[in-house]
A = this chain, B = another copy of it.
Amino acid sequence: MNALVELKSELRAISDLHAAAMVLEWDQNTYMPPGGAEARGRQIALLSRLAHERRSADRMGKLLGELSTVADQDSTDGALVRRAHREWERATKVPGELMSELRNHTSRLYSVWAEARKASEFAKVMPLLEKNVELSRRYAEHFPVDHPIDAFIDEHDPGMNAASITALFAELRAELVPIAEKILAQPVPDRTILDADYPEAKQLAFAAHVSAALGYDFERGRQDLTHHPFMIRFSSGDVRITTRVDPRDFSSCLFGTIHETGHALYEQNIAVALDGTPLGSGTSTGVHESQSRLWENLVGRSRPFWEHFFPQIQEVFPEPLGGVDLDTFHRAVNTVERGLVRVEADEVTYNLHVMLRFDLERQMLDGTLPVAELPDAWDERMEADLGVRPPTDKMGCLQDVHWYCMPIGGGFQGYTLGNLMSAQFFAAAQKALPDLDAQIGRGELAPLREWLTENLYRHGATYLPDELVKRATGEALSPQPFLAYLREKFGALYGVEL
């Protein structure tokens, strides 16, 4: 048992070093003056290096070896040792020189991408992207995987791989493309309310009000403004969110805040006992995204939710919204469009954007798609799935930063896994709470939050995603609850049989 005590103490120090680096990043994104950038980069790198040194230390490997019987136990300690072992393996498997070559290359790639994107010229960044593919494949070779992308998927969505995800996505896409086509054939709803004057301070106050109503604890968090919104955890008592404001469109700040609140509700409700251990945060990118999307979409864009909150937002913005009726409002914030940009996509088309990226990165990694053919492959797939063709690479394969700032692979699938899970979790909650829709309609969000806490949040990373889904919903992960949700919601909204 002494080895376990020592392991936990060392893991806590690693967690504290990581949290300290996170505070420095939060400050960098919120309040740091421009002059602080250079030293701040160095300071964050130092803390990350110290955490990595401890994570990959020989002593850590020895402790984990001594604890191999604990790792076999079906207990929290067992899960803790298993997770710590995963992290130790990941920290030690790839040679330091390759890691530093990857860091240096992606840092250069990022700045060239920023230029190439501005100029909308893929050719400018192509050779460096090719090199990133090569380095990423070399990275993946250090893991016992069937497909190079598995090495990256396993980092973000442990327990999953290319085969399992490809099967899920194929089932989803086969039914989703015709659903999207039917909706997109309908007349476009009236969206004039999304281009009016919404004073910033009022937007922020209303977003904070909604966030608190969902259960976000401002005594253990806060909201600030950043260029890109995010959620960040320093400890169970300090989980922060950020947002941005578009003075002409309230939906960016409001739904962005609900999205980050979803991530934060997960982190704020993990059992305090797991704080400072590798179990003390969300279990995967996909499960995390399921919570941001559940609150943003299945709750925040639902008809019951707005039955309660619409009179309130009308009071805050009497000028653009006073004379609008609930149906018009609800349709405006649920419009389905043939968009080119993933981050602006609606609930229906979003996953088409994601699956495109997942398929192309998988093909680049296994060599079936030469990097030079990426722009054409992108454009053709957009045409096939969404019926639009990007006019420029900037709106196409240069639009997302993921491939240009880190090893290629594993950065996208979590978005769609999250959407699928969000519907599956919500359906299970509806079964357990037969009054759920009516509760949401009365602004009573505690029962849903408590069900999610009991079945998901409190466990942190104790269970791998597949197991967590099975425990919470009784079923393996499937696209069907999500498809059923889309058919019902958008069938009603657009008055069409889906």
Interface residues of A, Cβ cutoff 8 Å to B: 13, 16-17, 19-21, 23-24, 26-27, 31-40, 42-43, 46-47, 50, 217-222, 224, 234-238, 240, 275-276
Contacts and interface: CB of A to CB of B under 8 A. Distances in A.
A431 to B, nearest CB: 33
- 6 closest cross-chain pairs (CB), A and B: A35-B237, A36-B238, A39-B235, A35-B220, A16-B43, A16-B46
B19 A43 contact: yes
Contacts of A19: 39, 43
Contacts of A38: 235, 237
A23 B46 CA distance: 14
Contact of A234 (B39, B50, B240): B39
A16 B36 contact: no
A27 B17 CA distance: 16
Given A31-B31, A36-B237, 10 more contacts: A16-B39, A23-B27, A33-B238, A33-B240, A35-B220, A35-B235, A39-B234, A39-B235, A39-B275, A40-B238
Q: Count chain B CB atoms within 10 A of each CB in A38, A217, A234, A276 and give the residue with the most.
A: A234
A218 B34 CA distance: 9
How many copies of the shown chain assemble into the complex?
2
A243 to B, nearest CB: 15
Q: Count chain B CB atoms within 10 A of each CB in A31, A219, A220 and give the residue with the most.
A: A31
A43 to B, nearest CB: 5
A33 B233 CA distance: 12
23 contacts: A16-B42, A19-B43, A20-B24, A20-B47, A23-B27, A23-B43, A27-B27, A32-B238, A33-B218, A33-B219, A34-B237, A35-B217, A35-B235, A35-B238, A36-B237, A38-B235, A38-B237, A39-B234, A39-B235, A39-B276, A40-B235, A40-B238, A43-B234
Contacts of A20: 20-21, 24, 43, 46-47
Q: Count chain B CB atoms within 10 A of each CB in A23, A37, A50, A224 and give the residue with the most.
A: A23
A135 to B, nearest CB: 28
A205 B165 CA distance: 55
Contacts of A217: 35
A27 B26 CA distance: 10
A91 to B, nearest CB: 19
A28 to B, nearest CB: 9
A219 B16 contact: no
A93 B51 CA distance: 29
A17 B51 CA distance: 13
Nearest to A21: B20
Contacts of A219: 33-35
Nearest to A275: B39
B33 A221 contact: yes
Contact of A33 (B21, B33, B222): B222
Contacts of A237: 33-39
Contacts of A35: 217, 219-221, 235-238
A106 B408 CA distance: 52
Contacts of A235: 35-36, 38-40, 43
Contacts of A47: 20
A72 B315 CA distance: 74
Nearest to A27: B23
A226 to B, nearest CB: 13
A302 B33 CA distance: 31
A40 B34 CA distance: 25
A27 B234 CA distance: 12
Contacts of A236: 35, 39
A193 B218 CA distance: 39
Nearest to A222: B33
Nearest to A31: B222
A26 B23 CA distance: 11
A442 B219 CA distance: 48
